[in-house]
Amino acid sequence: MAEDVQYQGWKIERQSYKSERALWHPKALVSIRDGGNAHEHHVAAPPDVVYATERDADAHAIEMAKKWIDERG
């Protein structure tokens, strides 16, 4: 399993999953600790965005997560 990615204080955890058609759907969990509170958000690609490999799906998930973080400043 690949290590989590740290980006602008957020942790990005890869959670891509394999579909019934043996294709991979990009998904990630972004989280940050703020004082004693933890904030989490799932970022997932639309259902029609799929990849042949877990590695490619994870790469897309990481980019989606970074964009989500950037949009929140």
Q: Is the entire prediction scored with pTM above 0.85?
A: yes
Cβ atoms of 65 and 19 closer than 8 Å: no
How many Å apart are CA 22 and CA 16, to the nearest integer?
12
Residue-level pLDDT, tens digit, the chain, 73 residues: 578 999 999 999 999 999 888 999 999 999 999 888 999 999 999 999 999 999 999 999 999 999 999 998 7
> How many separate domains does the chain show?
1
Q: According to the model, what pLDDT value does residue 73 have?
A: 72
Task: Measure CA of the first residue to CA of the last residue in the chain; give whole Å.
Answer: 29
Which residues span the domain enclosing 37? Answer: 5-71
Domain of residue 34, CATH code: 3.30.160.350
How many Å apart are CA 54 and CA 32, to the nearest integer?
25
